[in-house]
Amino acid sequence: MKKKIIYLDYAAATPTDKKVQKAMAPFYSREFANPSSLHQLGQHSRAAVETAREQVASFLSCSADEVVFTSGATEANNIVIQGISFHPNPTANPTSHPGGAKLRTPGVRSAGSKPHIITSMIEHESVLAPVLQLEREGVIEVTYIAVSKEGIVHPDDIEKALGENTALVSIQYANSETGTIQPIAKIGKVIKKYKEENIGSKILFHTDAVQAALYLHCNVAKLGVDLLTLSGHKIYGPKGVGVLYIKKGSRVRPLFFGGGQEQDVRPGTENVACIVGMGEAIAEIRNPKHEIQNIQVRQLRDRLIKIIPQRISGVEVTGSIVERLPNNVHLLINGVEGKDVVFLLDQKGVAVSTGSACSERSKEPSHVLLNMGYGDKEARSAVRITLGKHTKKEEVEKTVKILEKVVEQLRAKK
């Protein structure tokens, strides 16, 4: 008989909801037609795509034509970074340049200077990797904003970094490793104020809301963002589908050119089944029972944050305790390697991670923890436990007991 796994890695991937699977099923069989086809079957597929677009638009409180479907968050983030880097905005009048801006590349930037991007040092790899690559190629200038010990970006640091050639600010809504929530609405107000005071500034504000969508509001107007990223497999939807919200009037150059689908931003035949699944998963977030599930998840998280340090010595919970996703428990466990803990827990039937799934196989310590001020050894001791709507209280209690034994075993070998 197959051993039941206690799954506590919901930040990496969520199981596809049964309602989502049911909604998707017809589009793998009888409703298979290309949504660009003009015949009746094609228009059935087109209607399904547009229904999903409306579902996402309702969640974001935006217009349906501001919703673009992608293959996932990585593609969406790359569209933002690369699309704006190669589509520089007009600069404002040089006299409007704020004094004392702390920019990584020194010197005054003229009207012909490179686009300037502001991002934080703890962003997801799908933002940092294209930014670093374009910086190496000399395409853009970049300011990397430092964070506090809790991993929070201060809006004042964004304000100081804004300049006449700033084209984009990209700050993740909630961190995928520590679960720390960023003050996105406050940063949005800082950028809005700067644009009001510097006529002609066309700065765009982007947030990667992949981890936040299940737990935080994503009203784009209230957040003050021009661009926002979502991912299907983080919200009980399918893998291989994402969303990029693009506010009307925002200029973003596409990565690909072809058939003109998705407002010419993301051409190519739409993945109808997964788009339908994305729409259904978004609709489930708006279900009143979802808030009850979130409360239950938060209670289990609080239980873990309380009892693990009590039962196991030398444990630190990283990130903000207050401004934190309700499903995230991120720990530094003194005297062990996080990957060893993950391996042994897996052998005993508990699935957790050391951090972001995208960097799980990396031999390097977490850039997030290093940039929060932790040392190399501390960063390597990280273990991330993330809960979901299917997590049971008895699973949490059992996990703590197993974790105690695993840490004791590993420390005994030192």
Instruction: Report d(CA 331, CA 371) in Å as an integer.
Output: 16
Q: Using one digit for the tens of pLDDT, what is the confidence trace for 252-302? A: 998 888 888 998 899 999 999 999 999 999 999 999 999 999 999 999 999
CA distances for 342 relative to 34, 347, 351, 362, angstroms: 43, 9, 7, 14
Euclidean distance between CA atoms 235 and 58, whole angstroms: 16
pLDDT for position 358: 56
- What would be the CATH architecture of the domain defined by 6-15+288-412? Alpha-Beta Complex (3.90)
CA of 280: how far to CAs of 4, 237, 285, in Å?
Answer: 28, 8, 9
Please calculate the CA angle 188-129-74 and round it to the nearest 5 degrees: 70
Q: Cβ(208)–Cβ(127) under 8 Å?
A: yes
Residue range(s) in the chain whose domain bears CATH number 3.90.1150.10? 6-15+288-412
Q: Which helix (H) or strand (E) holds 329?
A: strand 328-333
Per-residue pLDDT reduced to its tens digit, 68-113:
999 999 999 999 999 998 864 433 333 222 223 333 333 333 444 8
| Known active-site residue 274 | no
Domain with CATH 3.40.640.10 in the chain: 18-285
Identity of the amino acid at 88: P
Among 62, 218, 274, 358, the one annotated catalytic: 358
As given in the structure block, the two tokens for residue 117 are: 């991007």
**Distance separating alpha carbons of residues 363 and 366, to the nearest angstrom:** 9
Architecture of domain 18-285: 3-Layer(aba) Sandwich (3.40)
Averages of pLDDT over each 10 residues, the chain, 414 residues: 86 97 96 95 96 98 97 97 74 30 34 84 96 96 97 98 96 97 98 95 96 98 98 98 96 88 91 98 94 96 97 97 97 96 97 74 85 96 97 97 97 85
Residues 340 and 80: their CA atoms lie apart, in Å, by 37
